[in-house]
Amino acid sequence: MCRLFSLTSTKPLSPFEALKALDVMREGHDGSGVGLFLRELGGKFKEFENLPILSGIFTKNGLNLLDDIMKEKNFQAVYDYRINTLETPCEGIPKRDSYLIRVYNYPPEWRDMSENEKKYLLMLTRLELKQAGMENDDIIVFSFWPDAVMIKEIGDPLKVGKYLKLDSSDEILARTIMAQGRQNTNYAINLYACHPFFVEGYATMTNGENTAFVPIKEYLSTRGFEGYCGFQSDSEVFVHILHYTMEKLGLGLDSYKHIITPLSDDDMNKHSNQEFLKHLKQTCRRLIIDGPNCIIGSLPDSTMFMAQDRKKLRPGVVGGRKGIFAFSSELCGLDSAIPERDKSKDFQPMHLDTAIVDKNREEVKICRQTDQLVLPN
């Protein structure tokens, strides 16, 4: 099984804190990949929170290609953070030319666009860059979004973090941190298959196996949205379904579980929203997952959540104190990151639960599928 760990904090923290928690759970990952998603950035990046940030790995040719493409699109670079790759990496970590995190000004012609138009074009730009670099692996781009950074690499999480100097940098800080230590089971080692996954402000990571991947992929591919693509991992569809639930259907997080793991017919017949839920189950039946899966996600407003599928065969626990909470595959990871907390309030979501910590970071809220839904007017 892979291992998952995430932090949500009122104070910006180093992502190395999450990597240390993964290291405590080291028996659950095999060094085949580590992924980080960072939101609500601190340090130097705090100055640019409204500007798009490009995160990726580039060869020298890839950097030249990047400059050509972005110049053609009228993006102007305003700040670079490059991770030193002159030294020889530890065993198991590939040698790269450049890890780049770059802030851009929006093109002048975007000035009068709506936020939705900007989001859509940022997503298309990321996909164009990804496609441009695929032939020779010159460009591996993970995100292009305001106030967000993604870092992925092959290797042991703690060793990767030290090699990338995340243990000593005061420039890479964040209030929302998601980290996955990968255990490769089904696919070739591919950085695009490493969690977390991201689309238009939504991010998820999963511990498990989604054997309903093919029908879900086929359904999403027919929705007419270019961002539902890639599919290097059967877990990537979880972020697409989350985006589809909230952005395309206009529903809330409380409806997400009803789409991926509908209630049984008996439970649905007792629900106060039974007619709506029956319709939702029928129309979105091809998005029902088959696990086991433990899912951790982050919304554009920095809400963090954990949910389980009906099989509930992957561990997960949520706990913390006012101002800082952690979501972890194992209790030892939570103990490592937040030892001083009221452990009696730790919560392990069961198959009907979604554990939620909103951007105020005051408490863990539990949304159960038996609760009445908040539906749009």
CA distance 270 to 369: 11
Same domain, 247 and 281: yes
Domain count, the chain: 2
337 Cα distance to chain centroid: 19
Q: Coil, helix or strand for 212?
A: coil
94 shares a domain with 57: yes
Are 280 and 227 found together in one domain? yes
Sheet containing strand 148-153, edge to edge, reads 148-153, 34-41, 174-181, 3-13, 324-328, 317-321
Compute how many other C-beta atoms are within 10 angstroms of the C-beta atom of residue 313.
15
User: Is residue 56 in some structural domain?
Assistant: yes
Q: In what order do the strands lie in the sheet with 139-146?
A: 76-83, 98-105, 52-58, 139-146
106 and 200 inside one domain? no
Q: What is the pLDDT of residues 7-61, one digit of tens each?
A: 999 999 999 999 999 999 876 445 667 999 999 999 999 999 999 999 999 999 9
Of the listed ranges 7-16, 119-128, 192-201, the one predicted with least confidence? 192-201
Beta bridge partners, 150, equal 37
Does one domain contain both 334 and 236?
Answer: yes
Name which of 55, 61, 22 is nearest 37 in CA terms. 55
- Give the CA distances from residue 237 to residues 2, 212, 229, 242, 294, in Å, rounded to whole numbers and listed in that order: 17, 10, 9, 9, 14
Same-domain status, 70 and 187: no
Residue 14 lies in a domain: yes
What whole-number percentage of the chain has pLDDT above 70?
94
Listed residue (232, 230, 227) closest to 242, CA to CA: 227
76-83 and 324-328 beta bridge pairing:
unpaired
**From CA 113, how far away is CA 357, in angstroms rounded?**
32
What distance, in Å, lies between the first and last C-alpha atoms of the chain?
41
CATH code of the domain covering residue 111: 3.30.70
Cis peptide bond N-terminal to 262, omega within 30: no
Range of 12's domain?
Answer: 3-40+174-368
Residues 36 and 86 in one domain: no
- Written as one letter, the residue type at 25 is M
**β-pairing, 293-298 with 202-208?**
antiparallel
Q: What's the CATH code of the domain at 249? A: 3.60.20.10
- Give the β-pairing of 34-41 and 76-83: unpaired
Beta strand pairing call for 52-58 and 76-83: unpaired
Least confident of 31-40, 62-71, 322-331, 350-359: 31-40
**Of the candidates 61, 287, 19, 66, which has an alpha carbon nearest to the alpha carbon of residue 163?**
19
On whether residue 123 sits in a domain, the answer given is yes
Q: Is residue 256 part of a domain?
A: yes
Average pLDDT over residues 312-319: 85
Q: Are residues 77 and 134 in the same domain?
A: yes
pTM summary value: 0.94
Q: Are residues 184 and 135 in the same domain?
A: no
Q: What is the mean pLDDT of the chain?
A: 92
Which H helix or E strand runs over 335? helix 331-337
> Is 162 inside any structural domain?
no
Range 26-29 contact pairs with CB under 8 angstroms and sequence separation of 24 or more? 26/156, 26/158, 26/181, 28/1, 28/2, 28/3, 28/181, 28/183, 28/329, 28/330, 29/2, 29/3, 29/157, 29/181, 29/182, 29/183
Per-residue pLDDT tens digits for 61-96: 999 999 999 999 999 999 999 876 666 777 778 889
State the angle between helix axes of 115-133 and 60-72 in degrees (0 to 180), rounded to the nearest 10.
150
Residue 130 corresponds to which amino acid?
Answer: K
